[in-house]
Structure 1
């Protein structure tokens, strides 16, 4: 077991050991938000034929080469083709075929003229300007070529990706199973928010906030509730979580106090502790362990500390297990706006709001930064990485930030 490791080592020790969960096939309609486990290559061209992007008339460019407002060219309309159908006839000299948006280009035609740019009387259309061959034609394979790699394993499936996969004719896709996460809170002082608040007690915010965070990632959650600071109870609930979950996350009981018995519970269960303690504030008591290819991440009981270390340590682990190929927070440079008067003898992560304006990154604090303050996490989308030994922070100072949520607030 290692002690008091750097954040990067804490992440690496877990990520090197973690492998994606097993895969399964699911209907395409259920694929949004999942992670592909196999590559997808296009079995067909998109579009599969030359098609019209608009309602108009398919003609030969040479037949309208001399057309003008003063001397329009007249052609005979020999057929009309709706989307989903193919022309029965061929465009020949001095003829035109009317096509609707999405309809295949008839044989013999090499240009489409917008229907609003012609005048038609009966079966005769007048054309008032020329167009180069190929104009207003969407070519076969212009969007996707047969055999093209559409998505690699580890791709997060978006609604647009679902649409593209459907357009290629796939009814099912191979994805990784949802990562199973069990969440446990420990502490005699905690009560469920549905219960009356007694003297000396506080409502349990860690369990619901971490469950919500895991659900947002797309994990399958088991909320195992709160257990008192008793060795037997904690060992039993961790064992219960490991029976089904890929990752067990606990809060509380990992410091060095008389009632911090989570490490003893892990020892009783014969669980291998990878490291205990990370050189960071908030959340330094964090502990990580492994048991039969499953992971246990034990976080501080302080609400803000728990969520910060969850974002920086547990989230990359969950994403790696999900099969994602990008799982670490993005690091960006930014200009600090505001002030932070406390020195940072230890590496510190401040809760901030990152904004991007015309390519310039700026970050402001979102509120109080103490370990127990939750409010400053509400609008937080980045953590300001303050090196150990730093003094007071002033406006205009260059800082490094780790992005943990959408910068644009979508």
Structure 2
């Protein structure tokens, strides 16, 4: 067992225990939130034919090469074609076809003139300026060409990707299987809402936050409530979770106090402890283990410490098990807008809210940086990564941040 490891080493130790779930084929309507298990190669051109992007007239550029306001060129409108239909004939010399947005371009037409740029007289349309061949045309395969890579394996299926795959005529898609996470907390002090709050007790927020995090990443969850601070009870709960899930996540009982019994309980069920302790704050008591081929991540009982460690360790682990291609959190540069007075003898992650101001990101402190503070977690969307040995941070200096949510 390794002790007090760096964040990066802890990430690698855990990720080495995680492999994506098996492949399954699901209907496109159910695919959002899943991850592609194979590359998707476009089976057809998108769009499948040359088409008009606007309402106008399809014609030959050669016929209007000499057109001007002083000497308009009059063309005979021979038919109309709307979206979903095709022209019955090619466009001949001196002719035009009235065309609607999305309709296929008639044969021999190589330009579309917008309605608002022409004058009509009966079945004639007058063009007052020349247009280059290819103007106002969307060509077949302009978006995606047949045989092109449309989406890579490891890509999260988002609503726009669902639309792209539907446009390519796909009814089902290959995705990685679901990952089930079992969650429980330890601690005699914990109550579940809506139980009446009693002296010395607190509500168990961690279980609810972590379940929400897991679901947002795309995992299924099963929660097994709270285990009291007794080694045999915690060991029994671990045994239950290992039977029900692919990944076990716990909060509480991982420090070095008399009632921090999770390490002993892990050994009792035969788990191999990969590391105990992170060289960072908050979240330093975290543990990683593996038992029966299943990863176990044990987090601090302090809410902010637990959630920050989840962002940095739990989310990458889950994403790898779900098949994501990029699992580590994104890092960005920013300008700090506030002073942060504390020195950081140990590597520290500071809750901030990032906002874009022009082309530059600015970081504002999100509030209390206490291990137990939840409101600052709720309003933050990033964590400043402050290196060990740093003095107080000053407003205006450049900083590096780990994204944990969408930019404001």
State the TM-score, normalizing by the size of structure 2.
0.95
| Counterpart-to-counterpart distance in 1, 2:305 and 2:109 | 68
Deviation at 1:275, TM superposition (A): 0.8
Q: How does 1:146-161 map to 2 (within 5 A)?
A: 146-161=146-161
| Counterpart-to-counterpart distance in 2, 1:293 and 1:171 | 35
State the secondary structure of the residue aligned to 2:131.
coil
Q: Assess, with a 3 A threshold, how the Cα gap between structure 1 residues 130 and 390 changes in structure 2: closer, same or farther.
A: closer
Q: How many residues align?
A: 408
The answer as to 2:67 corresponding to 1:64 is: no
The aligned residue for residue 310 of structure 2 is 310
| Counterpart-to-counterpart distance in 2, 1:75 and 1:401 | 62
Deviation at 1:41, TM superposition (A): 0.9
| Counterpart-to-counterpart distance in 2, 1:76 and 1:388 | 78
Higher deviation after alignment, 29-38 or 359-368? 359-368
The aligned residue for residue 185 of structure 1 is 185
The aligned residue for residue 331 of structure 1 is 331
State the TM-score, normalizing by the size of structure 1.
0.95
The aligned residue for residue 280 of structure 1 is 280
| Counterpart-to-counterpart distance in 1, 2:70 and 2:145 | 43
The aligned residue for residue 12 of structure 1 is 12
Deviation at 1:116, TM superposition (A): 2.9
Deviation at 1:403, TM superposition (A): 1.8
The aligned residue for residue 162 of structure 2 is 162
Q: Assess, with a 3 A threshold, how the Cα gap between structure 1 residues 394 and 130 changes in structure 2: closer, same or farther.
A: closer
Deviation at 1:203, TM superposition (A): 1.0
The answer as to 2:53 corresponding to 1:53 is: yes
- In structure 2, runs of 5+ residues without a counterpart are none
| Counterpart-to-counterpart distance in 2, 1:79 and 1:289 | 72
The aligned residue for residue 240 of structure 1 is 240
Deviation at 1:176, TM superposition (A): 1.3
| Counterpart-to-counterpart distance in 2, 1:70 and 1:336 | 62
The aligned residue for residue 108 of structure 1 is 108
| Counterpart-to-counterpart distance in 2, 1:350 and 1:60 | 63
Q: Assess, with a 3 A threshold, how the Cα gap between structure 1 residues 395 and 114 changes in structure 2: closer, same or farther.
A: closer
| Counterpart-to-counterpart distance in 1, 2:106 and 2:331 | 53
Contact 2:329–2:404 (CA under 8 A) maintained in structure 1: yes
Deviation at 1:74, TM superposition (A): 2.2
State the secondary structure of the residue aligned to 1:185.
strand
The answer as to 2:255 corresponding to 1:255 is: yes
The aligned residue for residue 404 of structure 2 is 404
The answer as to 2:289 corresponding to 1:289 is: yes
Deviation at 1:387, TM superposition (A): 2.3
The aligned residue for residue 42 of structure 1 is 42
Deviations 1:210-238 (A, max 9, x none): 11111221211111111111222211221
The aligned residue for residue 118 of structure 1 is 118
Deviations 1:85-127 (A, max 9, x none): 1111121122222221111111222222222333333323222
| Counterpart-to-counterpart distance in 2, 1:116 and 1:391 | 65
Deviation at 1:170, TM superposition (A): 0.6
| Counterpart-to-counterpart distance in 2, 1:338 and 1:115 | 55
| Counterpart-to-counterpart distance in 2, 1:51 and 1:361 | 41
Q: Assess, with a 3 A threshold, how the Cα gap between structure 1 residues 178 and 133 changes in structure 2: closer, same or farther.
A: same
Contact 2:17–2:295 (CA under 8 A) maintained in structure 1: no
| Counterpart-to-counterpart distance in 2, 1:116 and 1:339 | 57
Q: How does 1:361-376 map to 2 (within 5 A)?
A: 361-376=361-376
Deviation at 1:284, TM superposition (A): 1.2
The aligned residue for residue 137 of structure 2 is 137
The aligned residue for residue 97 of structure 1 is 97
Higher deviation after alignment, 294-303 or 131-140? 131-140
The aligned residue for residue 394 of structure 2 is 394
Aligned-pair RMSD on alpha carbons? 1.6
Deviation at 1:50, TM superposition (A): 1.3
Deviation at 1:256, TM superposition (A): 1.4
State the secondary structure of the residue aligned to 1:57.
strand
Deviations 1:224-265 (A, max 9, x none): 111111222211221111112111110011111221111111
State the secondary structure of the residue aligned to 1:34.
coil
Deviation at 1:25, TM superposition (A): 1.2
| Counterpart-to-counterpart distance in 1, 2:404 and 2:272 | 29
- In structure 1, runs of 5+ residues without a counterpart are none
Deviation at 1:28, TM superposition (A): 1.0
State the secondary structure of the residue aligned to 1:188.
coil
Deviation at 1:10, TM superposition (A): 0.6
| Counterpart-to-counterpart distance in 2, 1:89 and 1:340 | 73
| Counterpart-to-counterpart distance in 2, 1:58 and 1:240 | 69
